[in-house]
């Protein structure tokens, strides 16, 4: 769906600057941003083609994508390519394909599929997120218990030989968890604590070991009790932890989203969709990690009613945040751009700055995506 891009062009509108919107324009040359112009910018000050929009944002980043639009993150590089292309209309420019808990023999196939995928097919898959299998059996959610229980040291050691892993979700109470956290962090892999039945103290020990994120805050976590605060409170009260939240109104009630924002602020909360293969398609029966998932108008669930990923898209997540919370448009976008980029150490993404990658999402005044620009190339236009 690419329309290409000239050697130099500009995008004009209200641009995201930190947690604020300011009038201006972004000038792009090749694959990077070369200038930011602030204030009303007349045509004569802009080079070449000018793309107009109401809001000009850094490209959206989603760190938890199990699939979407009929495609599952698994062992087929063609499915990854199709997923990358399908994410563009929702404004996503960078994402982490997320592999749910699987048999040990499956992981080499998933790694091979990622390496074979076309990184220019659409949104850029920037690394794999391995969600499991080192999770709590008591908080397994839709992950298969047999693979959680079979997770071995040998599997983990083989992971450490792979350079395509960007993020790992694990439970800090599993035996050997803190040693695993330290080993991953030493290799530049971000660790997120999730699917956990940990006490407050055990969760904090995982953070001390180097974990810096919480996976889908409030979901598959130790519940809050005033004498045993657990993982939910640890996430909200430890400033080292960035909270990942799914604002679909199903995984997290709008009030809990507001609570997390009040506790953490807009700089320590990031938005993920946790979308699965049914996102964007409508009700029906779909697959997730070898299990059958039934989807209605609002949720995706296993036969026993357990939530199995979401059908949320990132652009809808932003509209939900603005509708449900005190977050401004710029603050909502900040949580989908600058915050995940900082967490992952992607220093050229997440902000509109000279020298940064020209990954840009352009919205209209209703927060509908008009254009998605990846590496200076307009890969989606709504017209």
CATH of the domain at 363: 2.30.40.10
Same domain for 363 and 245? no
Residue 3 tokens, joined? 């329309």
Based on the fold, state whether residues 26 and 92 are members of the same structural domain.
Answer: no
d(CA 296, CA 284): 7
My answer on whether 76 and 197 are in the same domain is yes
- Tens digits of per-residue pLDDT, 293-337? 898 888 889 888 888 888 999 999 999 999 999 999 999 999 999
Domain CATH number, residue 167? 3.20.20.140
Closest CA to 13 of 370, 381, 338, 380: 370
pLDDT at 4 > cutoff 70: no
Calculate the average pLDDT of the chain: 95
Per-residue confidence band for 2, with pLDDT thresholds at 50, 70 and 90: very low
Residues 71 and 33 in one domain: no
Judge if 337 and 207 occupy the same domain.
yes
- My answer on whether 213 and 278 are in the same domain is yes
**Of the candidates 88, 22, 15, which has an alpha carbon nearest to the alpha carbon of residue 56?**
15
Q: Judge whether residue 243 has pLDDT over 70.
A: yes
User: Is 116 found in the same domain as 25?
Assistant: no
Question: Does 359 map to a domain?
Answer: yes
Same domain, 28 and 84: no
- Residue 194's DSSP bridge partners are none
Residue 55 β-bridge partners: 14, 363
Tens of pLDDT, residue by residue over 164-215, are: 999 999 999 999 999 999 999 999 999 999 999 999 999 999 999 999 999 9
Q: Which domain holds residue 18?
A: 8-57+350-381
Residue 109 lies in a domain: yes
d(CA 174, CA 312): 30
Q: How far is CA 191 from CA 99, 215, 266, 301, 343, in A?
A: 15, 9, 20, 26, 10
Mean pLDDT, rounded, for 71-95: 97
Looking at the predicted structure, is the pLDDT value of residue 11 above 70? yes
Is 226 in the same domain as 269? Answer: yes
Residues 368 and 288 in one domain: no
CA 218 to chain CA centroid, Å, is: 16
The answer as to whether 134 is a domain residue is yes
Q: Check whether residue 72 and residue 210 sit in a common domain.
A: yes
Would you please indicate which residues are annotated as catalytic (active-site) residues? Answer: 274
> If you average pLDDT over residues 277-285, what whole number do you get?
89
Axis-axis angle for helices 254-264, 230-237 (nearest 10)? 50
Total domains in the chain come to 2
- pLDDT at 159 (0 to 100): 95
Q: What percent of the chain has pLDDT over 90?
A: 87
């Amino acid at each position: 769906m690419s329309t290409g891009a000239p050697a130099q062009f500009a995008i004009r509108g209200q641009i995201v600057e930190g947690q604020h919107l300011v009038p201006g324009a972004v000038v792009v040359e090749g694959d990077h941003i070369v200038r930011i112009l602030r204030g009303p910018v007349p045509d004569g000050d802009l080079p070449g083609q000018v793309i107009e929009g109401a809001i000009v944002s850094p490209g959206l980043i989603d760190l938890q994508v199990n699939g979407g639009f009929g495609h599952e993150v698994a062992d087929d590089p063609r499915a990854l390519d199709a997923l990358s292309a399908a994410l563009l209309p929702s404004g996503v420019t960078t994402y982490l394909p997320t592999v749910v808990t699987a048999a040990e023999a499956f992981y080499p196939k998933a790694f091979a599929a990622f390496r074979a995928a076309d990184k220019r097919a659409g949104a850029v898959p920037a690394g794999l997120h391995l969600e499991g299998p080192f999770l709590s059996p008591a908080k397994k959610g839709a992950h298969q218990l047999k693979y959680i229980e079979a997770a071995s040291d040998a599997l983990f050691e083989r992971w450490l030989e792979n350079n395509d892993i960007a993020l790992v979700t694990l439970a800090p109470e599993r035996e050997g968890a803190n040693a695993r956290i330290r080993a991953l962090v030493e290799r530049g892999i971000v660790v997120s604590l999730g699917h956990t039945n940990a006490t407050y103290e055990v969760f904090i020990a995982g953070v001390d070991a180097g974990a810096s994120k919480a996976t889908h805050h409030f979901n598959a976590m130790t519940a809050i009790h005033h004498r045993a605060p657990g993982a939910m409170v640890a996430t909200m009260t430890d400033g080292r932890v960035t909270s990942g939240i799914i604002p679909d109104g199903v995984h997290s009630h709008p009030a809990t989203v507001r609570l997390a924002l009040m506790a953490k602020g807009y700089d320590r909360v990031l938005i993920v969709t946790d979308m699965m293969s049914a996102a964007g398609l409508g009700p029906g029966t779909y697959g997730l990690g070898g299990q059958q998932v039934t989807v209605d108008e609002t949720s995706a669930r296993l036969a026993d009613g357990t939530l199995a990923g979401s059908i949320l898209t990132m652009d809808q997540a932003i509209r939900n945040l603005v509708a449900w919370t005190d977050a401004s448009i710029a603050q909502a976008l900040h949580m989908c751009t600058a915050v995940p980029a900082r967490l992952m150490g992607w220093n050229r993404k997440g902000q509109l700055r000279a020298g940064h990658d020209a990954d840009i999402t352009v919205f209209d005044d209703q927060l509908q995506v008009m254009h998605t620009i990846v590496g200076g190339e307009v890969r989606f236009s709504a017209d």
